[in-house]
Amino acid sequence: MNAETGFATAHDSPVLFDETHRMLRDQIRRFVAAEITPHGDAWEAAGAIPRDLIRKMGDLGFLGIRYPEAIGGSEMDERATVIWAEELGRSTYSGVAISALVHTDMASIHIFNAGTEAQKEKWLPKCVTGETLTAIAVSEPGAGSDVKGISTRARRDGDDWVLNGAKLYITNGVNADLYCVAAKTDPEARPSQSVTMFVVEKDTPGFTVSRALDKHGWRCSDTAELSFVDARVPAANMLGAQGRGFYEIMKNFQNERLVIGAMAMGESQAALELTVAYLKERKAFGAPLWEKQAIRQRLAMLAARVEACRQMIYSTAARAAGGEDVVREVSMIKALAGELVNEVMYDCVQFHGGMGFMRESTIERMSRDARVQSIGGGATEVMLEEVAKRM
């Protein structure tokens, strides 16, 4: 229990988590306190995190939580994934969190899930150590949540595939070494059977980072627009079977959305703790603001809803680890968590008063970072349609 705020410092259910999970949470929390919190403001100003941080994560085994021991991984499951995401969210530096989570759970995981043994042996060990940073390149100027609508093309030419097109809003886009890129290989096929995934290496001729993007939040996470002009990719870099890219993307969306939900609840928890501590110190009208019943009760209700959402995330992770189909639940989580974190941030900024509007305050930065949670990884409206299909 946190003596200052009264919030529990860990939310592990003994039914869903074991001692290994609790040790992992403690280790990540110590890492955040030592390696992220003291430097986050400088990284925000710089617009990127140092590669050395990724390598430190690799040294401690965080980048291979779900991967086999043979390549340096820990062979854990979705429960460990949500712990990793939640603790990074609690850091209050969500740009750091998303940079790491894209690498571990949205990009390199495609190589693990769909790659050949040769591809895994070639690329994954350095992904686990942090020597190699990855990005996932699906979104385009005209296609985001609608993966079938992408327009980037790939045509076979001898021993190569030639890619033409553009990708937008790509996290780690500037600094990545490997890009898992979705392109249409058969425009005449059904949309769901026309997309293929490729691993594109940084120095591929014809591939360029068009520009780094200036974002509202996630300031220390680099985001880019990518360009492919007759970019020649070896046929050996095709990821999975031709025409199966859409299904691979959809398959990992479930993991991605679970992770984003856990990250959002970590952010929400940190915001509530910060706000309660502030209200107990900030005096107005002769007493701490915490003495105002309306404020206390509003935050208490938000805390209850955050805890309910967190427990849904935990139970869904446990079910996913057991091999169950959790598409419905994960879609619910992404919609609920993305909206809830923004509601939490709105009220926390409000209760900070004028300080909540100042760039020097943590809660101001957190509120900007949270805004994209209802957009990225599947907009709320898209998620609710996925839920509705299953009602």
Catalytic machinery residues: 256
User: How distant, in Å, are the alpha carbons of 51, 112, 133 from that of 58?
Assistant: 11, 16, 11
Strand partners, 212: 224
Do 84 and 65 touch, CB atoms closer than 8 A? Answer: yes
Strand partners, 208: 227
Cβ contacts of 299 within 8 Å, gap of 6 or more? 272, 275, 276, 279, 347, 351
User: How distant, in Å, are the alpha carbons of 130, 152, 169, 269, 290 from that of 139?
Assistant: 24, 10, 7, 30, 44
Instruction: Say how many C-beta atoms besides its own lie within 10 A of residue 19's C-beta.
Output: 9
Tell me the C-alpha distance between 375 and 389, whole Å. 20
* β-pair type (178-184, 134-137): parallel
Tell me the C-alpha distance between 325 and 173, whole Å. 31
Strand partners, 288: 283
Place of tokens 């996925």: 386
Do 235 and 160 touch, CB atoms closer than 8 A? Answer: yes
Tell me the C-alpha distance between 226 and 208, whole Å. 6
Tell me the C-alpha distance between 139 and 141, whole Å. 7
Provide the 3-class DSSP secondary structure of residue 293.
helix
Provide the sign of the torsion angle of the four alpha carbons 171, 174, 178, 183, taken in this order. positive
